[in-house]
Structure 1
């Protein structure tokens, strides 16, 4: 008599199954959170005002704003870091802290999801950027930092700082603001996670203040938002964002140091 066959091991749900399951799961609790859209508007005000202040300071000192390495790096980094720091402070003062309010819980499964969607994001970015550059022209499809290093060799220290910001610091700060604070503000209104996903994606793209690249940024942001959507935590979207930015950041580093032309 043959022994009974054992049932095959359960396979983890695929990406599409995970996305479909989101609509059937209850909304997460946000007890103790006393901040909402006003907190996000304050963070955006910190970002804009600090960027305006840096621009005015550079102008009064006679700095050439179109070619200054230090201005582009400082003007990109400082407002983003200040805004993210403000978001963290708000969760401590008006809520439960960033770990709970911004959904920063750690799970290795989230890292795996972020890696997969980050790799998907790289492929999507390459395809979208290629198509977009043909539509609007290569010059118009380039970011501010990309325009700065285009064909220009930078000091090694500046190139490394730029690489760290583009690949690591920038993604972490932006995730805290848009898929952390903004997402939480939307959920606190009782709106669905799908609404949080769509609105945070659109506002994230528009907030870069690069009108010609907004539609491209929306496409790039989709896998990052999906990582946040299906895991309900920020870790996955941070990992996806870091992975998605790694190839562009590495390219900028090689161009800035003269390794690539």
Structure 2
């Protein structure tokens, strides 16, 4: 602890900032490593190409690494996952999360329709999940594992990063709440690296942040994110 309200600093910065950047750095590093390992024969940099069977799960590995920075940072420099983020959902968190998750789905759908109306359907990319049934190796088990990761693990890691560490660090430095909401949504959209879906992802990020804002806890945004990811995860099996 230090004199700054009991908040630990790492390299002179609030530990949550360092944890955030560590998570993002790990994400990009693992993306490069897995892409090189999986696609070394073709030279392609898409980690989904040439994937099948158990290797299908490699597509999710970079995303799972996102949560390592927040977890290690909280355990080493913070007050623990529950006190720092409020990861154990209450019924209030669940209610807020489900409502915001449903709203995020609507917002994403409407914004995507708007982008399609302006630019045409050919210029708007599908969700990366749409490619997974083709590279699953013909096994429902692998698709079920991918769906579980999409609904459970991905919301936890992404929300720990965005509405956890980044949110907490910005709030600590007295950034106005509406600015925190906008910034975390913008970073959330950009992190996905899907240019044609950036507007929709930004809108969904705002709604997921709203869950955190209304509840004051990351658990609500995790529930919202999980609810938002549920339909795409279920649709994995329709393309099987």
TM range (shorter): 0.7 to 0.9
| Structure number with larger C-alpha Rg | 1
Please tell me whether the aligned partners of residues 80 and 174 of structure 1 are also in contact (alpha carbons under 8 angstroms). Answer: yes
**Aligned residue in 1 for 2:109:** 126
Runs of 5+ unmatched residues, structure 2? 10-14
* 1:156 alignment partner, one of 113, 136, 140: 140
User: Closer, same or farther in 2 for the Cα pair 1:154/1:63, shift >3 Å?
Assistant: farther
Distance in 1 separating the partners of 2:122 and 2:139:
25
Residues 81-230 of structure 1 mapped to structure 2, 5 A cutoff: 81-134=64-117, 135-137=119-121, 140-149=124-133, 154-230=138-214
Deviation of 1:190 (Å): 2.0
Looking at secondary structure, tell me which structure has more helix per residue: 2
1:76 to 59, 65, 80: 59
What CA RMSD, in Å, does the superposition of the two structures yield over aligned residues?
A: 2.7
* Contact kept? 1:58, 1:71, Cα under 8 Å: no
- Describe the SS at the equivalent of 1:36: helix
Distance 1:205 1:161, change over 3 A: same
- Conserved in 2, the CA contact under 8 Å of 1:30 and 1:188? no
* Closer/same/farther in 2, CA of residues 137 and 234 from structure 1, 3 Å limit: same
After superposition, the Cα gap between the structure-2 partners of 1:53 and 1:90, relative to the gap in structure 1 and judged at 3 Å, is: same
Q: 2:12 maps to what in 1? A: none
1:250 maps to 2:234: yes
**Residues 45-92 of structure 1, C-alpha deviations (whole Å, 9 max, x = no match):** 111001111111123356975342459843432112122023101111
The Cα of 1:225 is off from its aligned counterpart by: 1.0
Tell me how many residue pairs correspond in the alignment: 228
In structure 2, what is the equivalent of residue 60 of structure 1? 40
Instruction: State which of 37, 41, 49 in structure 1 corresponds to 2:29.
Output: 49
Alpha-carbon contact 1:202-1:218 (below 8 Å) kept: yes
Structure 1 residues 206, 83: closer, same or farther in 2, change over 3 A?
same
Name the SS for the 1:149 alignment partner: helix
Match of residue 23 from structure 1: none
Could you tell me how far apart the structure 1 residues matched to 2:237 and 2:121 are?
Answer: 22
Distance 1:117 1:240 in 2: 5
1:11 match: none
| Residues 112/94 of structure 1: CA separation in 2 closer, same or farther (3 Å cut) | same
Give TM-score scaled by structure 1 length: 0.77
Give the unaligned 5+ runs of structure 1.
1-28
**TM-score, normalization: structure 2?**
0.83
Cα deviation, residue 250, structure 1: 0.8
